[in-house]
Chains A and B, each alone.
Chain A
Amino acid sequence: MPLNEPITPGVVDWTGENPGIFLKNPDGSFSAMALFFRVAWSPIGQGQVLLLYGTPNQVNGTTDAPNLIISDNPALTAFLKKNFISKLAVFANAPAFETLPEFLASGVRTSGDPMSHRYSETIAAGELTIELVWEGLEPPRALELSPHEVGSGEHNMFSLLIPAQAAHIIVNGTHLSGELGTRVQAGFETTSAFLYFSETWIIPPEAL
């Protein structure tokens, strides 16, 4: 719940949307991971960025399961990689992280309803079309997380979580393999497919 002081101390790092889908192999390793950013404010401006590990255990992905970034603001991609994604171990430690190829987005489209049955983001670049689909959507939860409860380990974070019971990563019409897993966020067990709206990352005063 909000604290009594209406202006939260610290500096806004970025704010926007940050949904994702993590699929797993039967042995528990990741078979595919996708993280999407729709940034409403950052020091680099607005933009949309898709980070896709179609083949997370290799430097180079395959044609059907590529490792890549698609973005409409390459400067924002660089900002997020340096200041945010590099602090998320699951992405930063992947073999492909340092050499991910980046493509300029030719189109990004949202469809569906996050409070109904299905929601999707479709991101296109040249011959590539990536669809992220979330289904079995749960009621939204407002989160207020402290540095020890977030992936970066450095921020206070406000967000709106909508967990999904099913999800798909579709590359040019082909579904990437894998199943959803579970994860725990600040004591709450949820799935590895999630919508995050109105998400704000704040660098606390003691970290400036």
Chain B
Amino acid sequence: MSRIPHNPGRVEWSGENPGIYLKENSQDTSYSTLALFFRVVMSPHGRGTAAIVLGAPDKAGGWPDVPNFIMTDNQRMMRWIVDGWVTKMPTFMGKAGLGTMRWLDCSSVSKRPGDLKSRYSETLRGSGVTLEMVWRDMGPPLPVEVTKENSATKEHEMYSVFLEAASAEVIINGTPLSGAVAERQFFGRTMSTAFLAFSETWVTPQEDI
């Protein structure tokens, strides 16, 4: 199959979308922590940054009673992305914490990319919360291009550059959430549940517009 240089679909959003999914025990079927970071450079609702943290994914409730929250500087954009993408991802689908997470403001974001191999971090502050997401021991970048059938939402095509991380932490106000990085089947191979994702673009196929 040869490439079609101009994808006829509708570009939805583009940016960075790294994640950290942790398990208490590697054999557990469910995750103890789910966290996604977003640095969106273009969308119909503007640009912005955000992080979703479900420290108790299966528990209904939000911050500060339960460590389930979203921090963002663009609520309208993230409402659109949560409804159109996150709720459709198998890892997040049906999670009680996703529907009950608290929406918090984000007043600052800073990253420490380092050498992109040993340690990478994003730190968000706002609403009395300091959230740190830390990835360690990254592998080489993997370019991915995903058809609708193979994508997480089953509705979009997706392009990205993934870097697996051997370990990772989600730290809220100085306290790490429990759990450790595990393995999962992704893109037809065994991959870490912690990853950086740069240059990620989501496209609605032409036939679905």
Q: Is B142 an interface residue (CB 8 A)?
A: yes
Q: Is A200 an interface residue (CB 8 A)?
A: yes
- Are the CB atoms of B15 and A198 closer together than 8 Å? yes
Q: Is B66 an interface residue (CB 8 A)?
A: no
- Are the CB atoms of B5 and A143 closer together than 8 Å? yes
- Partner of B200 from the list A10, A146, A198 (CB cut-off 8 Å) is A198
- Are the CB atoms of A115 and B44 closer together than 8 Å? yes
- Are the CB atoms of B11 and A141 closer together than 8 Å? yes
| Residue in A8, A16, A41, A146 whose Cβ sees the most chain B Cβ within 10 Å | A41
- Partner of B161 from the list A12, A113, A115, A144 (CB cut-off 8 Å) is A12
Q: Which of A138-168 contact B (CB under 8 A)?
A: 139-146, 149, 158, 160, 162
Q: Is A3 an interface residue (CB 8 A)?
A: yes
- Are the CB atoms of B9 and A17 closer together than 8 Å? no
Residues of B within 8 A of A187 (CB): 5-6
- Are the CB atoms of B6 and A188 closer together than 8 Å? yes
Query: From B142, which residue of chain A is reached at the shortest CB distance?
Result: A7
- Partner of A160 from the list B11, B146, B158, B205 (CB cut-off 8 Å) is B11
Query: From A149, which residue of chain B is reached at the shortest CB distance?
Result: B5
- Partner of B4 from the list A16, A114, A144, A162 (CB cut-off 8 Å) is A144
Query: From A186, which residue of chain B is reached at the shortest CB distance?
Result: B5
Q: Which of B152-204 contact A (CB under 8 A)?
A: 157-159, 161, 163, 187-189, 196, 198-201, 203
Residues of A within 8 A of B114 (CB): 45
- Are the CB atoms of A142 and B203 closer together than 8 Å? yes
Bound form: Cα–Cα A36–B147 in Å: 30
29 residue pairs of the A-B complex, CB under 8 angstroms, read: A1-B3, A1-B8, A1-B157, A1-B205, A4-B150, A7-B144, A7-B188, A12-B141, A15-B198, A40-B16, A40-B199, A41-B163, A45-B114, A114-B42, A116-B46, A139-B11, A140-B14, A140-B42, A141-B7, A141-B11, A143-B7, A144-B4, A146-B3, A158-B143, A186-B5, A197-B14, A197-B15, A198-B14, A202-B143
List residues of A whose CB falls within 8 A of some B CB.
1-4, 6-8, 10-12, 15-17, 40-41, 45-46, 113-116, 139-146, 149, 158, 160, 162, 186-188, 197-200, 202
